[in-house]
A = this chain, B = another copy of it.
Amino acid sequence: MSTVTQTPCVGRPRAFDTEDALAKALEVFWRKGFEGTSLTDLTQAMGINKPSLYAAFGNKEQLFIKAIELYEQRPCAFFYPSLEQETAYQVVEAMLLGAASSLVDESHPQGCLIVQGALTCSEAGQAIKQTLINRRRDGEIALCERLQRAKDEGDLPAHADPLLLARYIGTMLQGMAVQATNGICPKELRSVAELVLTHFRDAFSKN
């Protein structure tokens, strides 16, 4: 199932690649946020006109939704793949170091689209704001469940609180996203991640 409309076999063919155009839109939303991005910004970056944008993606809001879906599937996305690590420590390590690397990767905008895409907005953007809140929550819930599994498997000690730990790691990741927009240098961000990892290992690792 593709995230974009598929081209039919009749009628004039599209002059642009929808995946490429969506990637360009993602890049703009990432830098400017949902409401900070205008349709002019989008059509210029995507190299298409407004009617083409609306025909291919619906409207600005639906385009943004498709952009965040692409965002979570892009090669450097680190969150959900981290859950598949073998141990709780390795999961957290993959997340924190992945964040420390990806959030300041200069091949794309700094920070996290899910955090900075619509942290605050006007009434018109409340639906998008809530969508991003839900995405952040979903991530923490998934981490919580992974840590609960680790506890069940004896991979985390009995005194560990999976929900609290997931909130803690989630808070750190969101804070690191803000640091990335601040322009923190990659080395410093990685040092912060490593400090958290040391804490986690000392307090919860069984090795």
Inter-chain contacts of A41 with B (CB < 8 A)? 122
Prevailing SS type, chain A contact patch: helix
Each complex incorporates copies of this chain amounting to: 2
Q: Residue A205 at the B interface, CB < 8 A?
A: no
Inter-chain contacts of A115 with B (CB < 8 A)? 119, 178
Contacting B at CB under 8 A, from A67-126, are 111, 115-117, 119-122, 125
Inter-chain contacts of A32 with B (CB < 8 A)? 120-122
Looking at the assembled complex, report how far the CB atom of A27 sits from the nearest CB atom of chain B, in whole angstroms.
13
Given contacts A164-B188, A173-B175, 8 further A-B contacts (CB under 8 A): A32-B120, A36-B125, A37-B122, A111-B120, A119-B119, A133-B183, A164-B191, A198-B203
Inter-chain contacts of A177 with B (CB < 8 A)? 178
Inter-chain contacts of A133 with B (CB < 8 A)? 181-183
Question: Once the chains are docked, how many angstroms separate the CA of A94 from the CA of B38?
Answer: 41
Q: Indicate if the CB atoms of A171 and B167 lie closer than 8 Å.
A: no
Complex interface bits, A170-187 against B, C-beta within 8 A gives 1, otherwise 0: 111111111101111000
Q: Indicate if the CB atoms of B192 and A168 lie closer than 8 Å.
A: yes
Closest to A124 in B: B36
Question: Given that A183-B133, A196-B168 are contacting pairs, would A122 and B175 also be in contact in the complex, using a CB cutoff of 8 Å?
Answer: no
Looking at the assembled complex, report how far the CB atom of A108 sits from the nearest CB atom of chain B, in whole angstroms.
14
Looking at the assembled complex, report how far the CB atom of A150 sits from the nearest CB atom of chain B, in whole angstroms.
17
Most buried by B among A137, A175, A182: A175
Contacting B at CB under 8 A, from A36-84, are 36-38, 41
State which of B121, B122, B172, B181 has its C-beta within 8 Å of the C-beta of A171: B172
Inter-chain contacts of A172 with B (CB < 8 A)? 171-172, 175
Q: Indicate if the CB atoms of B174 and A179 lie closer than 8 Å.
A: yes
Question: Once the chains are docked, how many angstroms separate the CA of A91 from the CA of B32?
Answer: 35
Q: Indicate if the CB atoms of B121 and A178 lie closer than 8 Å.
A: no
Looking at the assembled complex, report how far the CB atom of A130 sits from the nearest CB atom of chain B, in whole angstroms.
10
